[in-house]
Amino acid sequence: MITLHNVERFYQTGSVKSYVLRRISMSVARGEFLSVMGPSGAGKSTLLGILGMLDAGWNGEYFFNDVAVHALKARDRIALNKRHIGFVFQQYHLLDNLTVRENLEVPLAYRDLKRSEREALVADALDRFNIVGKKDLFPGQLSGGQQQLVGIARALIAGPQLLLADEPTGNLHTSQGNMVMELFKELNRAGTTIIQVTHSELNASHGDRVVNLLDGWIEHPHLPEGGAAPARAAAMW
């Protein structure tokens, strides 16, 4: 589904380039559940933003379902994102002037659905996340954990091929976090490709494999023969 080749992201001040990602080359198979780990500032969220086509200021090659994302115009990237990608943001990104129900309807506006079909999908999402009683409330009337649940429900409501999640359980109670991870595994078994950024080894363990980032580089997953420290690499994983 995804292939990155020598993807780099930097910010320039005068003649100085500050790299956030360096020579990232990796592949993600359709139906895979990948966890991305690393310390704060390693480039995890930046990588997720590139994969989600929310960031266009990078160099390199990105293929999504054999489409050359790096060669697309901005409007075509946005259209590809809306058709195939769901995003769970760390900071919710709910629309403050819309109710919970209306926030859930937003991704469905880009689908060719009848009103009755949209209403059925919203009702199912409200029930699945136990937020039926919150449907007429605005985000400012919800706790942080409740806002995160709404954000996750919104990301999933249109049945995306790819789900990108940035610390999806960071603001949830343990029981809510466990529920979200079980839901992710259920979706993954049904065919949804998932890439999550997490600091939690427990959450990472639910995935098929882990990619570690450090200072913008992919780290080798194994020590080389002789026990030397792992080198930074632009490996194709």
The pLDDT of residue 15 is above 90:
no
Would you give the DSSP letter of residue 230? P
Compute the average pLDDT of residues 151-167.
Answer: 92
- pLDDT tens digits, residue range 185-205? 988 998 999 999 998 899 999
Q: Give 23-77 pLDDT, tens digit per residue.
A: 999 999 999 999 999 998 999 999 999 999 999 899 999 999 999 999 999 999 9
- Give yes or no for residue 156 having a pLDDT over 60: yes
Tell me, what's the pLDDT at 221?
Answer: 53
Confidence (pLDDT) at 231 = 44
Q: Which domain holds residue 145?
A: 2-233
Count of domains observed in the chain: 1
Phi and psi angles of residue 205, each rounded to the nearest 5 degrees, phi first: -65, -15
Supply the DSSP string of 114-158, one letter for each residue.
-HHHHHHHHHHHHHHTT-GGGTTS-GGGS-HHHHHHHHHHHHHTT
Q: What is the pLDDT, as a whole number, of residue 220?
A: 63
208 has a pLDDT exceeding 90: yes
Q: What is the CATH number of the domain that holds 198?
A: 3.40.50.300
164 pairs with which residues across the strands? 87, 195
CA distance linking residue 48 with residue 87, whole number of Å: 9
Report the share of the chain in percent with pLDDT over 70.
92
